[in-house]
Structure 1
Amino acid sequence: MNIRALMRQLNQEKIVFLLTVLLLVIFSLTLKNFLSPDNILTLMRSVAVLGILGLGMLIVVLGRGIDLSLVATMAISVAWAMQLVSQGVPVSVALTTGLLFAIGMALVTGILVAYAEIPPLFATLAMATFIYGFGRAHLIVGTDVVYMPKDMGWVISLGQGRLLGIPMPILVALAMALLVYLFLKFTKVGNFIYAIGDNLAASRIGGIAVRPILVLQYVLSGAIAFAAGVITATSVQAMNTRIVNSNMIYDVILVVVLGGVGLSGGRGNVRNVIVGTMLIGVLMNGMTIMDIQYTVQNVIKSLILLLAIVVDSVVNPRDEQTGQQGDI
């Protein structure tokens, strides 16, 4: 009886958290210095950007959307901003320009989804291709990698600085997680996003301005992508635009779905993203220490993503309205 009661209390988030603890125990017993403070900080720092992007994806997925253009927006907007700085443009102006580019592209995406009613999967996939192609052809011509100029000023500290011994990328990720939590929990717009994801038709009948809020979701996602890009670029002192063609966008989806955010919309929170990011961070760190090939790591992550989507389809079954909204 006690076991049955325990099983009823378990959900995907709790199961993933328990798996994370289990992996921590296994790796700490089998891998030397896995639980050392330096390695734990390295682990958390390595997934900070992934967690930030997961927050952007969370906002969109809660409203029954998906944003496959996140990584393209991140890479091109920040690479262009750094190139402007290297050409003599003031840092503040360059960063503002990059941010406006990211928001502008996200605004177009939101309009395509909300007003043209193009399914999010196809709209964001097309926008990802456009952003990358346009950026490489007209904004950062002739190079795959844009290196960070020396005169970036205080911005460098966002990726390389420390506060009380904790790397700034970790603190920025935690701060953004808090902001997104407060936005979703305590603002009317945040509550409307949940309502739209739960039942779009009822939300429209209830007087919620559905289309503008759908657009706002993508705008917020684009702004968060730019912030993640700044952290990435200042951490490694460069922005490699070829990251757009990597598996990073699937890693973002993985941490969101794995943590328990429902792809059918209206279910999930910041805590789910944090739990999913923790598990992937521990897993990737352990596989790296064991010197597992990168391609094998991708296979393992792909299988985990497939399993997470299957679990999500069982826990959060789709309905006819979900299919009409272009849910993946």
Structure 2
Amino acid sequence: MELVATRYKRLLWDWTLGGLPGWLYLPGLMTKWSHRIDLDNLSDAAGKFKPGQLVDVLLDGEQLLTKSLDIPIAAKGSLHKVVEVNLRQSLPQGGADLVWTYGIKERNGSKLNVLVHLMRKRDLDALTHRASESGTQIRTVRVAGMLDAPPLLDKRNKTDRPLKVWAAIMLALLASCVGTFWWQHQQTIRALNAELDSLQVLASAIGDEVISLRSSLSEAQTNAASERSEFEQFVAEHRRLPLLLDLTNTLTDDTWISEFELLGDELLLTGFTGDDVATVIEELSRLDDVSKVVLDGPVSFDRASQKNRFSFLLSLETARE
């Protein structure tokens, strides 16, 4: 039964983490992607592994083989290759049965003191086997205190695939959101440009209509002025004959008019009279259309006609339109 339960847990683990469902929901829901396990002794590993966990194992460096190397500081740029060459040359069988990691311990003058931790491959394989039997998946195996050093075992290319897929999904969603926003922005700009074009056409039409209305107004004002002038001329012509008839009926035969000039609501009369000038003024003032009569110059005696020459300015009642 225990063997069946272990296999069931492994199958469930492979399905949730290694399959498609894990790619879709685990990275977005898990607050902690992997768990850290500190191992002071490799024999304690079986009791710390739990089914369904993804773990980063930290080994106590005191439990591993160590080797100290002095590397010229000039070789720092290619430190990994230099360390590898030294180990291949100094270890039995070129270190074929060992895995190793290194870190710079200190700088001594022109030398770098590099501390190398070595682990037998069979011990590492035993550790991964115990984890697999417990339903645990190892992500990395490192040396405690050397987290910046290369791991002794690194399976992140496999175990972190969901993170990469989730990151790709997030990137695709972000790109989709940005693309949607850009498309909506472009649509808004197109709509605003179309509305602007419509408003410009409308403004142009209104401008043309304003010009047309101004032209019509100017023409109407010109026509009105012309009609008023014609009306005033008509009124003047219409009043001229009644005034002449009134003057003929009012003035005696001893008075005649030499100049008759109608100036709007004023009438300029120039002539000669044998009557008393004051009497003539009084008679003219009695006319219905005359409101006032004044002299428009001095009265003079004309020797040729033996009569008084006068010039009267008559104020007429305003004509009704």
TM-score by length of 2: 0.21
Q: Which has the higher contact order (CA 8 A, sep 6+)?
A: 1
Which has the larger share of helix? 1
> Greater share of strand residues, 1 or 2?
2
TM-score (norm 1): 0.21
Which protein has the larger Cα radius of gyration, Structure 1 or Structure 2?
2
